[in-house]
Amino acid sequence: MKNYRKYIKKYWKLFLTAIFFLSLEALADLMQPMLMSQIVDQGIATGEIDAIISIGLTMLFVTFCGAIAACMRSILASRVSQDFGMQLRSDLYKKIHHLSFSSIDRQNRASLITRMTNDVTQVQNFLNGTMRIFVKAPLVGIGAILMAMRLNLRLSSVFLFILPIVAVIIFKVMSQTFPIFTKMQHALDAVNNRMREYLSGVRVVKAFNRFDFENEQFAATNHQLADISTTAMKWSSLMNPGIALTLNLGLLVILWLGGQFVQTGYAASGEVIAFTTYMIQIAGALGTLSMVFTMFVRAKASAIRIGEVLNEEEIEKQHVASDSQEVQGQISFENVSFSFSNNQTLKNVTFTSTAGHQLGIIGATGSGKSTLINLLMKFYEPTTGTIKVDDLDVNQIPADLLREKVAIVPQKNILFSGTILENLRWGKQAASIEDIRLAAQIAQIDEYIMSLPEGYDSRVGQGGVNFSGGQRQRLAIARALIRKPSVLILDDSLSAVDANTEASIKEALANYPQKISMIIIGQKIASVANCDQILVLDHGEVAAIGTHESLLTNSIIYQEIYESQIGKGGVSHESK
């Protein structure tokens, strides 16, 4: 409940106003049978036309007031529920944005999407229903019982047998369905996750003719969801018939007893008619309550799942800014270690990269190259050790300032739907077209963009599917350069371009008007050979550090990489 206090504070007035109009609507419904009883007993039975007209006009007035109240209730219910759903989704989105990468990595991405969409919708629908019919059902039900008892206490004795049976049916169904609905939401997560994986890898599926396998996997997950949903619906479907059967039997008893009481003088004909109407109202109220309980169980399960995200405490740390607002580009790691899921990725990494210089990082797959950069960017917190930028602990630099001055071009280049210009301006929203074209020229992509019919206004497909891998990499480099960073990190970001284009990009970067520090992560020695300093990682440890020439002499691991890629004939250095 604590997760929803802010919403209660914001919407409680409108909520109670809706409940007020709902109560008026329920009162109008409850008055109708009583007025009908009076027409029968005071007008029809006695032949008093004036009484019939007077009571009839009162019924019309009560009906009109009930209709106005119903309209106001519907308007308020829609406004509150829609605003609540919008605010809750927005807060979930912001919460996920501020979660640490470690926390996000532990989450199922499809589950997060389901919680923001389906789970929020379940809670929103329950809130809307509460203001529309859910509160009205117990009001009408209890009111009908009280009005019936006021009419004829002897006939009301039937409730002593009916209501306990109804209560047992409702309790039994609720206790059985709550855990099932929780499982159903998890099964829905699994379906969404399976579909998400298929869509993201559809090219690979088609390339390897694995559709039959994927279809089997999806069918199994989908079948599991269907089985769980069927079980939940089976239990839920028992409620309405059980309640209806109990109440109809009670109605038969009331009609039989009513007939006996009319003959013996214990009840008037109008009272029996009104009592029967109240019984029908009670039946309708309990039928609605059965639906309420079903929706409540689903909403409760969804609310718990939403709360798990809102209660997540591992958020990205926000540190107090230091007096220094400039980043020159010197990077230092001091005995840095990092473990993820009990698996140590980095071990006592220590090195310093001088501002304005190029640092190359090379090593086998899984040696910790990308992890090292993720720690520098504050995507993760090191287990031990200190990371410094310009002799300042990164914990003293706000994350937004650090990422403004340290730009990264990741291994997996993500482009967003929109135009090329909109994608490039992700680097800096206020960037001028001159700055954008300069960055594109350095990334060797400007000429290609200008050759397109719409130039920089050309559309980018989802994920950049209408561009080659090399083009996506160059667009990502241009996007990073638009920030005019002090440090540029290329995380294996030139792997998809040819050697000549790679050389041209590096030459343009070397002549960049603003001197920047560079960290180049590569699988190929040719990518890092000309760096001022090369860091060799092996199983998360610094195996060696030095220039290309010194490493060829002193590092066995570097020699092995060199010989496996280039052979013993030598390496041709690319021009700086």
For residue 569, the model assigns a pLDDT of 47
Q: Is residue 54 part of a domain?
A: yes
On whether both 304 and 402 belong to a single domain, the answer is no
pLDDT on residue 536 = 92
- Single out the residue of 445, 427, 435 nearest to residue 504, CA to CA: 445
β-partners of residue 182 are: none
Domain boundary among 310, 341, 375: 310
20 or 30: whose pLDDT is higher?
20
Q: What's at 575, amino acid-wise? A: S
Question: What residues contact 88, with CB distance under 8 A and at least 6 apart?
Answer: 7, 120, 123, 124, 306
Task: Identify whether residues 283 and 425 lie together within a single domain.
Answer: no
Is 267:130 a contact under the CB 8 Å cutoff? no
Rounded distance between C-alpha atoms, residue 379 and residue 370, angstroms: 11
Same domain, residue pair 354 and 289:
no
Over 50: is that where the pLDDT of 323 sits? no
Considering the domain boundaries, does residue 572 fall inside one?
A: no
Assess whether 175 and 277 both reside in one domain: yes
User: Would you state the pLDDT for residue 321?
Assistant: 45
**575 in a domain, yes or no?**
no
CATH number at residue 104: 1.20.1560.10
- Residue 565 three-state SS: helix
Instruction: Say if residue 92 is in the same domain as residue 232.
Output: yes
Q: What is the pLDDT of residue 567?
A: 67
Residues 274 and 372 reside in one and the same domain? no
Q: Does residue 403 lie within any of the structural domains?
A: yes
The two three-digit tokens of residue 99, written as one number: 């979660």
Q: Identify the domain boundary among 310, 341, 363.
A: 310
Average pLDDT over every residue of 127-141: 80
In a domain, 164, yes or no: yes
Burial of 175 by CB count in 10 Å (0-12 exposed, 13-18 middle, 19+ buried)?
exposed
Residue 573 forms part of a structural domain = no
CATH number, domain containing residue 449: 3.40.50.300
Is the separation of the CB atoms in 544 and 558 below 8 Å?
Answer: yes
C-alpha span between 570 and 574 (Å, rounded)? 13
Nearest in space to 138 (alpha carbons), one of 298, 284, 296, 297 = 284
Residue 390, pLDDT above cutoff 50? yes
Angstrom CA distances, 261 to 148, 151, 221, 251, 267, stand at 15, 13, 60, 15, 5
Same domain for 178 and 262, yes or no, is yes
Torsion of CA 178, 182, 187, 191, to 10 degrees: 120
**pLDDT band (50, 70, 90) for residue 52:** confident
Q: Is the pLDDT of residue 298 over 50?
A: yes
Mean pLDDT of the chain: 82
Domain co-membership, 259 together with 352: no
- In the listed set 279, 310, 341, which residue is the last one of a domain according to the structure? 310
Verify that 258 and 378 share a domain, yes or no: no
> Is 321 part of any domain?
no
Q: Is pLDDT above 70 for 373?
A: yes
What are the phi and psi torsion angles at 460 (to 5°)? -110, 125
236 and 342 belong to one structural domain: no
| 338 and 420 inside one domain | yes
pLDDT interval class at 568 (50, 70, 90): low
Amino acid identity for residue 37 in this structure: S
Residues 423 and 494 in one domain: yes
**Residues of 42-59 as b/e, b for ≥16 C-beta within 10 angstroms?**
bbeeeeeeebbeebeeeb
Domain count, the chain: 2
Task: State the Cα–Cα distance between residues 264 and 255, nearest whole angstrom.
Answer: 14
Residue 288 within a domain: yes
Quote the domain boundaries for residue 142: 2-310
Query: Which residues contact residue 30 at a Cβ distance below 8 angstroms, ignoring those fewer than 6 apart?
Result: 140, 143, 144, 147, 281
Greater confidence, 166 or 335?
335
pLDDT in tens, 75-132: 988 888 889 989 999 988 888 887 777 777 677 677 788 888 888 988 888 888 887 7
In 3-158, which ranges are continuous DSSP H helix?
5-38, 49-98, 101-106, 109-114, 120-129, 136-151
Contact status, residue 63 vs residue 277, Cβ threshold 8 Å: no
Q: What is the pLDDT of residue 322?
A: 44
